[in-house]
Structure 1
Amino acid sequence: MAVLVLSSLNSIVEEALVLKGEDVDVVVPNKLLDSRRRRNPEMRFHGISRWNGYAELEALANRIPNINQVFTVEEQTVRAAGFLRDLLGLSGQSHRDALAMTDKHLMKERARSHGIPTAGHVVARSVEDVRDAGDELGWPLVVKPRSGMGTMNTFKVNDHNDLERLYREGAFTTGIPDPTGRLSASEGLVDGLFSYKFGFMVEQFIDVVEEYFCDMVWHDGELLMAVPCRYLTPLIGNIGKLYGVTVLPEGAEEFRRVRELAVAAARALNVQSGYVHCELMLDSRGDLYFGEAGNRPGGREILALSSKVHDWDPMEVLGCLAMGIRPDISSERTYEILASAVPQAPAGRIVAMSDRDELLSIPEVVDVVLKTEVGVVHGGSHNSADGVAYIFFTPQSLETSNKEIEEIGAAFRVDVEPA
Structure 2
Amino acid sequence: MPARLFGTPGLERVSVVTETGHTHSFPTGVDVVEVADIRDPREVLAAAVSVARRRPVEHVLTPAEFSQGTGGYVRSVLGLPGLGHDAALGFSNKYVMKQRLREAGLPVAEFAQVFSLAQVPAAADRTGWPCVVKPVVGGGCLDVVVLDSRAHFDAFAASPQADSLRACPDPLIVEAYVPMDAEFHCDGVVHDGEMLFAAASRYFTPLLGQIDSFSGSSFLPDGHPGLAPALDLHARAVRALGMRSGVTHLELFATPNGFLIGEIACRPAGGGITDAVRYQYGVDIWQAFLDTSIGRRPRCEPRRRDAIVVNADFPTRPGRITRLVPEADLAALPGVISARMSMSVGDVIPADLTSSTSPGLVFYEARDEDEVRSRLENIRDAYFLETSAP
What TM-score bracket applies, with the shorter chain setting the length? Answer: over 0.9
Aligned position for 1:42: 29
Cα deviation for residue 412 of structure 1 reads: 1.3
In structure 2, distance between residues paired with 1:102 and 1:400 = 36
1:23 equivalent in structure 2: 13
- Of the candidates 100, 125, 128, which is equivalent to residue 90 of structure 2? 100
Q: What is the aligned counterpart of 2:62 among 72, 79, 83?
A: 72
Q: Secondary structure at the match of 1:296?
A: coil
Work out whether residues 211 and 315 of structure 2, in 8 Å CA contact, stay in contact via their aligned partners in 1. no
Question: Is it true that 1:86 corresponds to 2:76 in the alignment?
Answer: yes
Is 1:298–2:269 an aligned residue pair?
A: yes
SS in 1 for 2:161: coil
Give the unaligned 5+ runs of structure 2.
none
The answer for the alignment partner of 1:118 in structure 2 is: 108
Shift of 1:370: 0.9
Q: Indicate the RMSD between aligned Cα atoms, in angstroms.
A: 2.0
User: How far 1:193 sits from its partner (Å)?
Assistant: 1.6
Contact 2:307–2:365 (Cα < 8 Å) also in 1: no
1:375 aligned onto 2:362? no
SS in 1 for 2:189: strand
Tell me the alpha carbon deviations over residues 339-390 of structure 1, each in whole angstroms, 9 at most, x when there is no partner: 1221122222222222222112111111111111122122257221111121
Q: Which residue of 2 aligns with 1:328?
A: 299
User: How far, CA to CA, are the matches of 2:118 and 2:369 in structure 1?
Assistant: 44
**Number of residue pairs the alignment of both structures matches:** 386
Distance 1:59-1:128 versus aligned 2 partners, 3 A rule: closer
Q: 1:49 to 1:126 in 2, by over 3 A?
A: closer
- Find 2:161's aligned residue among 171, 176, 197: 171
1:373 and 1:367 map into 2 onto residues whose CA distance is: 17
Q: 1:231 aligns with which of 192, 198, 203?
A: 203
Over the matched positions of the two proteins, sequence identity in percent amounts to 26
1:361 aligns with 2:332: yes
Alignment partner for residue 54 of structure 1, among 35, 41, 46?
Answer: 41
Is 1:140 matched up with 2:141? no
- Checking the alignment, whether the CA contact within 8 Å between 1:52 and 1:79 is kept in structure 2 is yes
TM-score by length of 1: 0.86
SS at match of 2:226: helix
CA contact (8 A) 2:331 2:338 kept: yes
Contact in 2 for aligned 1:349/1:377 (Cα 8 Å): yes
The residue matched to 1:156 in structure 2 has which SS?
strand
Residues 1:101 and 1:412: Cα distance change in structure 2 (over 3 Å): same
Q: CA distance change for structure 1 residues 280 and 370 in 2, over 3 Å: closer, same or farther? A: same
- Of 180, 183, 195 in structure 2, the residue corresponding to residue 208 of structure 1 is 180
- Per the TM alignment, residue 280 of structure 1 is displaced from its structure 2 partner at its CA by 0.6
Q: Are the aligned partners of 1:69 and 1:90 in contact in 2 as well (CA < 8 Å)?
A: yes
Give the 3 Å change call, closer, same or farther, for CA 129–17 of structure 1 in structure 2: same
Matched, 1:156 2:146: yes
Deviation track 1:142-191 (CA, whole Å, cap 9, x = no partner) reads 11111100211111111122111212223221xxxxxxxxxxxxxxxxxx
